[in-house]
Structure 1
């Protein structure tokens, strides 16, 4: 799968890039594994807009992806197809298990039709195999990682993402994982993860090129606060290209956001799991 470059017959096409979709299976999604999600366009249950710049978007079906896996323990599955998913950056793979059930999973780098996967704790370490952290050797790349054991994978699910197991403490039942941000965290050794790297690494090279492609994805234009009137935003008002005329920026709701201010909660429940903070780029 590669990146497609367009002929610049309009200014917006000059730097635009897209997918060429080579290597994907040309088929409709599995009917039993799709459902329609209604778009609320940033509105809450009262109809009030609580998230700005949302709306529109192309019609699409949600693919039900399996982020659990351990409920199909030691039942081999075969990759039937590699498909595009409009709801995520990564590709998805349709797995047909030996007992006849079909499920979608996140496709890993190098996945191809005919590959076999297994959710197991035996001494097998192929890409796409899902195992508990205590059974994955140090130095291995992982994705689709659980935060709490026996829930579902919540971390490392986007295109090209992965983490590395860098150490274990068998006495405390802890595994040390270095995330893609550079942060090192402690995880319970019973958490499940998939071996490998999430596929579709080329996604980072996609250039939208025009505003219309953002609208297809359900994103409406985002207007700067300083371009608004004072009644609409704390930064509003002024003549021409003047600054915001405040000591420091404020959010749309008027909450101060001084430069360099940390937005993470001071007493977050997961702070106790952080061994070292993420590195600066």
Structure 2
């Protein structure tokens, strides 16, 4: 009888106290041995081992996403990344302006829809993010904020010398209290003194290649993960700015002939996440690390209303429309009327259709008749 009463308690011990299975069995065995001496000891031991079950939390967490109890249909399938470190208040208003008259409906300056499935959405304020990072010196990370205009998070920085504030795209793992710097203006004098007046690549990388720091590409070691990558010297970042994206510096061009300046070539090879290798200027900017919020693509909105809050309108199939609205429309049932898949404007969607012809495709030249009797030959050869 005692074994029957103590059996369910073992599972409750593991659930409430987090004990391993072997330890819970040891406690049960020892309690059974002590309880065999008398019925009074049995009741005292059972009462001491009866731990109340932990209440079920309102939110269940997986490894990276937070799920919710299905109290309503809208939260049954809702999944969100766990970002408890984000700032709960309003943004820094001097660095924002309202998004009004900026084509929220997908229309151009003539009022015509150029991007479909856009419209509605809640009111937003656009955050002015610094993609150039020219200000040198130490910058303190005040907080990490959510930006409704982008998938990655942003960080509010305060220049410790001037007190000026700015927004940057936050790196994954960046938290309030971190200190970041920018070396786009050059290597500071105190760092040159540490290296003995000459540039030591090892010491330079150890002192500068930290998460959130902005450097020219020629100062970053090969193989480093970077984001907010620029393409030209003197301009801001254009690549790897969305959530969880990064690039890898694969190689630097060596000095060759008159095309190079300084000790190395003018370009650095950067591999983007698509696999494309870009040849960018060695003086272009890049930030060490990976763009924040890497689990943004794993979220599930849970209901259609959240999609409308995000300025996204429904996408309707062509076969569900009338014949006047789409080439696939009309007819009875799900039928395209024996037509190949096309866009709403009649452009074929499959079969390798090209919208424009390259400059050197199917171009022929006429060879003078006196020499070759009017034969035609392509420019590429015979």
List aligned pairs for 1:29-108, cutoff 5 A.
29-38=91-100, 39-40=102-103, 41-69=105-133, 71-72=134-135, 74-97=136-159, 98-108=161-171
1: CA distance, partners of 2:94 / 2:209: 30
Change (3 A) 1:6 1:244: farther
Residues 52-99 of structure 1 show CA distances to partners (whole Å, capped at 9, x for unaligned) of 221110112111100111x21x32111011111111111100000121
2: CA distance, partners of 1:263 / 1:112: 47
2: CA distance, partners of 1:260 / 1:128: 43
**Contact persistence 2:252–2:267 (CA under 8 A):** yes
Do residues 242 (structure 1) and 332 (structure 2) align? no
> Cα RMSD (Å) of the superposition?
2.1
List aligned pairs for 1:127-138, cutoff 5 A.
127-138=211-222
Change (3 A) 1:244 1:178: farther
Unaligned runs of 5+ in 2: 1-62, 188-203, 256-264, 360-382
2: CA distance, partners of 1:17 / 1:265: 45
Give the secondary structure class of the aligned counterpart of 1:79: strand
Please give the TM-score of this superposition, normalised by the length of structure 2. 0.65
> Quick check: which one's helix share is greater?
2
2: CA distance, partners of 1:265 / 1:3: 46
Residues 203-229 of structure 1 show CA distances to partners (whole Å, capped at 9, x for unaligned) of 122011211111000111111112111
Alignment partner, residue 279 of structure 1: none
- Following superposition, the deviation at residue 20 of structure 1 comes to 4.6
2: CA distance, partners of 1:182 / 1:19: 27
**Contact persistence 1:2–1:21 (CA under 8 A):** no
- Following superposition, the deviation at residue 191 of structure 1 comes to 1.0
List aligned pairs for 1:136-175, cutoff 5 A.
136-171=220-255, 172-175=265-268
Unaligned runs of 5+ in 1: 268-281
Which of the two has higher C-alpha Rg? 2
**Contact persistence 2:328–2:335 (CA under 8 A):** no
1: CA distance, partners of 2:351 / 2:176: 49
**Contact persistence 2:222–2:249 (CA under 8 A):** yes
Change (3 A) 1:149 1:52: same
Stretch moving more, 91-100 or 8-17: 8-17
Change (3 A) 1:89 1:263: farther
2: CA distance, partners of 1:142 / 1:96: 22
